[in-house]
Amino acid sequence: MRLAIDIGNTLVKAAVYEENTFIERFQFTADAYEKGFEKILLKYPDCLDWVLASVGQISSDQFKKYSSSVRVHLVDHAAKFPFINHYHTPQTLGIDRMILASGAVLKYPKQARLIIDVGTCITYDFVDAQDVYHGGAISPGIQMRYKALHQFTAKLPLLEKLQPDDFIGKSTAGSIHSGVVLGVVHEIEGFIDQYEQTNENIIIILTGGDADFLAKRLKNTIFAHSNFLLDSLNQMFQYQTQND
């Protein structure tokens, strides 16, 4: 058994796998990660391989304390990836975006892929059918947009995300929900349309914490998979093991 660990900007997410079979998912805040992993170790003592990537505040060095009981495998920029990287500044490319691109290449071979990760930020990553990674886009995520409207104005309230009833907001709250949620929907659909114009039969993968929330609003044919990064980490472990 193995444990895939995604250390994000806001949360730590982890999932237990038996080869390619998903067993259980865990999620906890960064300040509670030690208790979280103690719980996982107690429940799954045979989960001896931990494969992890971090874009958050918890460094990989903090996992050395577990090396006496498990094998920790860090996926960083020095790892072997299943695509050719044409990003102009490869060292600034987030490791989470590289892992998502890798998972798309391994799961959907010989097809153009667009991976859309709707989390703290919304990232778009494009890999063509020849497994060349080209780049994409980064924009503010849903919660960031709500917070920005509140923090950078004098009177707009801070709201929790909510599906708007109508595209016409008939109150301040309704206008905010329409602007944030439908603004994100139109942004995503606009990007998808652009990629589909130049890439026939492109695979669209929607993932991240807000994937399920947004999927029902999107008109385009997509694969909504909120655990795609964890699945991709599991696939990356197998890919690296086979290609060492």
Residue 19 has what pLDDT?
A: 87
Verify that 70 and 91 share a domain, yes or no.
no
Q: Residue 211: which residues within 8 A CB-CB, separation 6 or more? A: 118, 224, 225, 226
Verify that 65 and 174 share a domain, yes or no.
no
Residue 205: give the domain boundaries. 84-233
For residue 242, is it within any domain?
A: no
Q: Which tokens hold the place of 126?
A: 């494009």
For residue 163, is it within any domain?
A: yes
Report residue 228: phi and psi, to 5°.
-65, -35
For residue 191, is it within any domain?
A: yes
For residue 239, is it within any domain?
A: no
pLDDT tens sequence across 49-107: 999 888 776 766 777 777 778 888 888 899 899 999 999 999 999 999 999 999 999 99
pLDDT tens sequence across 139-190: 999 999 999 999 999 999 999 999 998 999 999 999 999 999 999 999 999 9
Q: Using CA atoms, how far apart are residues 232 and 227, in angstroms rounded to an integer?
A: 9
pTM, entire model: 0.91
Banded pLDDT at 125 (limits 50, 70, 90): very high
pLDDT tens sequence across 176-226: 999 999 999 999 999 999 999 999 889 999 999 899 999 988 877 678 888
Q: Which helix (H) or strand (E) holds 113?
A: strand 113-118
Q: Given strand 11-18, what is the order of strands in its sheet?
A: 21-29, 11-18, 2-7, 49-54, 71-74
Q: Does the pLDDT at position 35 exceed 80?
A: yes
Q: Which residue has the higher pLDDT, 114 or 29?
A: 114
Verify that 158 and 206 share a domain, yes or no.
yes
- SS3 label, residue 236: helix
Q: Which tokens hold the place of 79?
A: 């790892």
Q: Which residue has the higher pLDDT, 15 or 66?
A: 15
In a 13 Å sphere around the CA of 64, the CA atoms on its Cβ side amount to 4
Verify that 105 and 222 share a domain, yes or no.
yes
Q: Residue 215: which residues within 8 A CB-CB, separation 6 or more? A: 206, 222, 224
Domain endpoint, select from 74, 93, 128: 74
Q: Which helix (H) or strand (E) holds 205?
A: strand 203-207
Banded pLDDT at 28 (limits 50, 70, 90): confident
Banded pLDDT at 230 (limits 50, 70, 90): very high
For residue 241, is it within any domain?
A: no
For residue 197, is it within any domain?
A: yes
Check residue 26 and report its DSSP letter. Answer: E
Q: Does the pLDDT at position 9 exceed 80?
A: no
Residue 23 has what pLDDT?
A: 93
For residue 15, is it within any domain?
A: yes
Left (φ > 0), alpha (ψ -120 to 50) or beta: where does 128 sit?
A: beta
Verify that 89 and 206 share a domain, yes or no.
yes
Left (φ > 0), alpha (ψ -120 to 50) or beta: where does 19 sit?
A: left
Verify that 166 and 58 share a domain, yes or no.
no
Verify that 47 and 146 share a domain, yes or no.
no
Does residue 193 have an active-site annotation? no
Task: Count structural domains, the chain.
Answer: 2
The one catalytic residue in 46, 76, 96, 212 is 96
The CATH code of the domain that includes 124 is 3.30.420.40
